[in-house]
Structure 1
Amino acid sequence: MSPECTAGPSREQQWSCRLDGDPYAVVTARSLATAVLLGWDADLVEDVVLVTSELVTNAIAHGAAPVVYALTVRKGEEPAIVVEVTDASADLPVQDLPGEVGHFGLWIAEELARVTVHPAPPGKTVRATFDVLDTSLRPSSLQ
């Protein structure tokens, strides 16, 4: 599945790909995030890639097709990186307590980003927002 890049206003760019049916869905989404954020602060990229893995895994395991991954880079006064995973299941994600075997990906995501869930028929979008407070963490071409 090849990602599509859609350029919104000059202050925002979005890349997305449909992942259901992709046997390497998590690898595909991680690779997209890594390629888009090449040259960014390594810690920030690692956090985005980890949250991407957790949210895509949850959508593939517990959601319904279609599953779409989107990565948005917002520039300007309130720069941010936004990870969104949309699927067609109306079932909302459930956060289990850390320490249980598995099932705490949402907790990991909430530790690293601002996570919100947006129900929308027929399913939902789980969004993780990473505020980019330090402009030195961004490549100079995006400032």
Structure 2
Amino acid sequence: MCPERATRTPSGRHRSCRLDGDPQAVVTARALTTAVLLGWNADLVEDAVLVTSELVTNAIAHGAAPVTLAITVRNGDEPAIVIDVTDASPDLPVQHMPGEVGHFGLWIAEELARVTVHPNPPGKTVRATFDVIDASLLPSSLPMTPLADP
């Protein structure tokens, strides 16, 4: 597994890892995502791991080094999981129609999360955001604030 950088803030936590040069980059990315989201709802973790796989595969296959993965877990009033995959290619992702062999990555990501592309010369970041609206998806260790009566 690649050396990762971890940061914890009052509103969440952040981990990042450089993946290019790792012959098992997608496996590494999946493992890091799973480790960061340990304790979250299993369905949400499964979706996040799948999206991570697709975005990292695309960055390695179609982007340019360096390729990095950053996972941010935001707690608080608007909990979310944010997955950023950054590479040095300025070429923006191209969405192909489902059914074309080997061209499902971006389509899958967009079906499961809110995907945005952020050019940042010399390359770009593809961001997948999972807004956590359902409190049952939060890890049980997070404090829950009851809803106020109307």
Task: State yes or no: 1:35 paired with 2:35.
Answer: yes
* Inter-partner Cα distance in structure 2 for 1:141 and 1:39: 8
**What amino acid maps onto 1:53 in structure 2?**
S
Q: CA RMSD in A?
A: 0.9
1:2 aligns with 3
Does structure 1 residue 80 correspond to structure 2 residue 80? yes
Number of equivalences: 142
User: How far 1:40 moved relative to its partner?
Assistant: 1.2
TM-score w.r.t. the length of structure 1 is 0.96
Query: Corresponding residue for 1:136?
Result: 136
Larger radius of gyration: 2
Residue ranges of structure 2 left out of the alignment (5+ in a row):
144-150
Partner of residue 49, structure 2: 49
CA distance in 1, matches of 2:95, 2:142: 34
Give the alignment's TM-score, normalised by structure 2. 0.92
Deviations 1:93-130 (A, max 9, x none): 00000011111200000000000000010000000000
- Superposed CA deviations along residues 10-29 of structure 1, whole A, max 9, x for unmatched, are 10210100000000100001
Q: Is it true that 1:15 corresponds to 2:11 in the alignment?
A: no
* Gap runs ≥5 in structure 1: none
Distance in 2 (CA, whole Å) between partners of 1:13 and 1:39 is 14
Report the identity percentage.
77
In 2, Cα distance between the equivalents of 1:94 and 1:142?
A: 38
